[in-house]
Amino acid sequence: MNVINFDFRNEVLKHNASLSYCYQCSTCSGGCPIALITNGKYNPRKIIEEAILGLQDKLIERQDPNPWLCSTCQRCVELCPQNVELTEIFTLIKNRCFENHKYPEAFYIQGHSVYENGVAIPYSNAIIVRRKNLGLPVIKTAPIEEIQMLMKETNFEKNILKGTE
């Protein structure tokens, strides 16, 4: 059963009022390279419809359609005749999935690396040697204490350390 959660709907609307302009014309899905080849598993129009209806459980718990299949190509945003900021709304939904520890492992790996190293891909010894051989300069990345202090303030630390289900 689908339950309407008004608080969730209002939260999305408050975050991005453009949601209310959607009239479900499906231009987004028609221009979406993922919708084209996933046979209903991913469908931007449907995600927006569920957001308008406040179907929190479907969007966050069951992830149907799966918002993580968006390739962030931004075609839908560009094409929408109503200027609905679809990818911003998808980002909010995925952020809520993250807070509920329901998200793909690869995002955890990247998030954890940035938390541990300040960068998504730390410099391996082999790369440091290769850079030297290629005549490239030594790059000093961000002081990790500073990055972790910011991540603590934004609550990222708490969420990333809980991992994903």
Partner 1 sequence: MVFDLFLGCVIPARLPYLEVSSRKIFEKLGIELRDVDGFSCCPDPTGIEQIDHKTWLTLGARNLSLCNSNGGIISFCSGCVETLKGVNYSLNKDDEVKKEVNDYLNKVGKAYDGKVEVKHFAQVLYENLEKIKDNVEKPLEGFKVAIHYGCHYLRPSEIIEWDDPFEPVTLDEIVKNLGAESIDYDLKMECCGNPVEKSDKDLSLQLIDNKLKAIKESGANCVVVVCPACYQQFEFNQRELNKKNNSEYDFPIFYLSELIALAFGFIPEELGFKFHRIKPSKLFESINFTV
Binding site for partner 1 (CB under 8 A): 33-34, 37-38, 66, 68-75, 77-78, 87, 91-92, 94-95, 98, 103-104, 106-107, 110-111, 114, 118-124, 127, 130-131, 134-137, 139-143, 146-147, 149-151, 153-156, 159
Measured from the CB of residue 95, what is the shortest distance to partner 1 in angstroms? Answer: 6
Measured from the CB of residue 3, what is the shortest distance to partner 1 in angstroms? Answer: 25
Q: What is the DSSP letter of 138?
A: P
The gap from C-alpha 160 to its chain's centroid, in whole angstroms, comes to: 14
Closest CA to 156 of 89, 122, 110, 105: 110
Measured from the CB of residue 22, what is the shortest distance to partner 1 in angstroms? Answer: 17
For residue 130, give the 3-state DSSP assignment.
helix
Closest CA to 99 of 161, 12, 40, 13: 161
Residue 49 or 99: which CB sits closer to partner 1? 99
